[in-house]
Amino acid sequence: MERELARLRARVRELSAELVQAQEAACRHVARELHDGVGAELTATRFALASVETWLPADAPAQCSNALAVANRSLDAVCAATRQAVAELHAPALEAGIVGALAQWTGEFAARTQLRTSFVCSADVRLTRLPADAALAVFRVAQEALNNIAKHARAASADVRIETSRRHLTLIVGDDGVGVARHAQRQSGHFGLSGMKARCAAFDGTLRVSARRAEPQGPGQARRGAGDGARGTLVRARFAWDAMLADALPAGLRAAQS
């Protein structure tokens, strides 16, 4: 029975890893299409608008200049959004390790969204030894959780923490927004949960999303329902050290553990 369970767990890890690899390949493909295809069209549009502005007669109605100004502002917004999308689709530079990558990205996230964002990390030497695929899994889960906060939570602040124990690395992302409904947690595709779960499962981990709720105001007060008194959402992504560091072990020790 134990051997069968171990075999099934290994198969789950393999399938999850394949799904994650497919997601990363899709991200790279979309990033190239945005950069090479959409980016080129946006550049052509900018040149066309500049030509129209140059050819516009001096006595042209003010509405023409106003319309061109609106078009240029919209084009600027689309270009900025496209650049941001391409930057997020590309895998981050992880040469400095997961701690440096997350510290930089949370700072950029705070500047872009104007959300008060903090990043706290345990002092654990194992974090410096994470292979690239394991570090990328932690980074992508944090990235997805923060992007969900910016898009859906209506929050004022977000916090990111990495906690470590003997067996697990735990990534915790919380906010003070409207919370997440229970039915939303059960929808595997909601808020990118399926991809986040796959990244955790690829390293013998789990993902849990829970809504924070305010405490009752007094004795005897009925517990509030989902959505009432919500104080935000908490995402807890757990990864097993043994699975994450497997590729960092010498071949002989890796074979002995398998």
CA distance 121 to 164: 9
CATH of 97-253, one of 3.40.50.720, 3.30.565.10, 3.20.20.80, 1.10.1660.10: 3.30.565.10
For residues 49 and 59, give the distance between their C-alpha atoms in angstroms, rounded to a whole number. 18
Task: Tell me which amino acid residue 165 is.
Answer: S
**H/E element, 79:** helix 62-89
Other beta carbons within 10 Å of 210: 15
102-108 contact pairs (CB < 8 A, 24+): 102/138, 102/139, 102/142, 102/160, 102/162, 105/139, 105/142, 105/143, 106/142, 106/146, 106/160
Among 12-26, 39-53, 76-90, 99-113, which range has the highest average pLDDT? 99-113
Q: What is the pLDDT of residue 29?
A: 67
Count of beta carbons in the 10 Å neighbourhood of residue 178: 16
213-241 pLDDT, tens per residue?
654 444 544 444 434 445 789 999 999 99
Confidence (pLDDT) at 125: 93
Burial class (CB in 10 A: 0-12, 13-18, 19+), 184: middle
Q: How far apart are the first and last CA of the chain?
A: 17
Which residues touch 200 (CB under 8 Å, ≥6 apart)?
Answer: 137, 141, 206, 207, 237, 238, 239
- pLDDT reported for residue 231: 79
- Nearest Cα to Cα of residue 17 among 255, 252, 205: 205
pLDDT band at 190 (very low <50, low <70, confident <90, very high): very low
